[in-house]
Structure 1
Amino acid sequence: MSVSAEDRFAPPVAHVADVAGPDTGEVLAGRGMRLLAVLIDGAIQATALKVLSLIPAIAAIQGNANDASFLAWTPGAMLLGLALFFAIQTWPLLSRGQTLGKMICRLRIVRSDGGKPDALRLLGLRYALGSLTAVNLGLAFLFGLVDSLLIFRDSRKCLHDTIADTKVIKL
């Protein structure tokens, strides 16, 4: 094959296209419904934390008794909140791929290929990893901001979805 003098330094040409995944017929959850599900989960969590903070021993674990806010950040409050989340949400997540808020909104978490995610992927990569950023306020803010804004991609995947290789679908 003969190459002309002008084409000798031209970059190679290749056709690049996205590889389509398996067509499972699933419909991605809408951004508004995902937000509603998170707000419901947050309300459940806040209510449970408020009720638990009425117990003196739990209030001591949460931190400063002089602080009127039960949402004040302390290491004890962070660990209590994470433990409470896992106590409330582990069973529905592992058995159905749904938090309580997602059940109410009729949404489900699945793998990118449509399969059922395992416990490490759901609890570890999707939830615990992001929660660990709470040890540093700046890191938590940055992670939360990027995580939230990425839902506006065409794939509607937040950062935690990308990390865990999951997606949220409508039922």
Structure 2
Amino acid sequence: MSDAVDQRFAPPQALVADVASEGMVLAGRGTRLLAAIVDALIAGGVAWAALKVPLLDSLAFNAGSPGLGSWRAGSTLLGLGVFLLVQGWPLLARGQTLGKMLLQIRIVRCDGSKPEAWRLLGLRYGIGIATNLNPVVAMVYGLIDSLLIFRESRQCLHDTIADTKVIKL
């Protein structure tokens, strides 16, 4: 009888196992870094070309030197526009930026499925872009984000937030 009483008040038992990601090989840290560098060079080239248009140049870079903690709306909006123009379609269609395509790696959910648009553009990239509202916050976020890739899971902070990982094709 005492066993029956103990069983009634025992906490529920459930087996929690990680979703198997068989057949998926994580992309290397160096490969991910190189893909990010390629993406930055592409975005920088497009932004440079856009700044040759006088109207965009005057919107992006206001006169004066406002200080470290200030935000320049024009340059942030230009950067967001360049990112969406260049990387938006490949990200949504294939889970890859142009740099990731070149290096044959892809963003997937932790269970191996294709990430949704809100997860990619909102959580994975949007939060990082939003930190640019304040350069000090952006520096702290960027440092933490970058250093977390050295975990065993090779997930940066933006991967953890969006429940994604980067795999080799």
Q: Is this a same-fold pair by TM over 0.5?
A: yes
Equivalent AA in structure 2 for residue 40 of structure 1: V
Gap regions ≥5 residues in structure 2: 1-14, 66-70
Q: State which of 81, 84, 87 in structure 2 corresponds to 1:86.
A: 84
Q: State which of 150, 167, 171 in structure 1 corresponds to 2:165.
A: 167
Q: What's the counterpart of residue 135 of structure 2?
A: 137
Correspondence 1:149 to 2:147: yes
Q: What's the counterpart of residue 64 of structure 1?
A: 62
1:148–1:159 contact (8 Å) kept in structure 2: yes
What's the TM-score once normalised by structure 1's chain length? 0.83
Matched pairs, number: 150
Percent of pairs with identical residues: 54
For the residues of structure 1 that align with 2:88 and 2:120, how far apart are their CA atoms?
A: 9
Q: What's the counterpart of residue 74 of structure 1?
A: 72
For the residues of structure 2 that align with 1:149 and 1:18, how far apart are their CA atoms?
A: 28
TM-aligned CA deviation for residue 102 of structure 1:
0.3
Q: Spell out, residue by residue over 1:87-128, the C-alpha distance to the aligned partner (whole angstroms, 9 max, x if none).
A: 111110010000000000100000000000000000100001
What's the TM-score once normalised by structure 2's chain length? 0.84
Q: Spell out, residue by residue over 1:122-145, the C-alpha distance to the aligned partner (whole angstroms, 9 max, x if none).
A: 010000111100111111011000
> 1:38-57 maps to which residues of 2 (within 5 A)?
38-57=36-55
Q: State which of 109, 112, 124 in structure 2 corresponds to 1:111.
A: 109
1:93–1:122 contact (8 Å) kept in structure 2: yes
| Segment drifting more, 87-96 vs 73-82 | 73-82
Q: CA RMSD in A?
A: 1.7
Equivalent AA in structure 2 for residue 157 of structure 1: Q
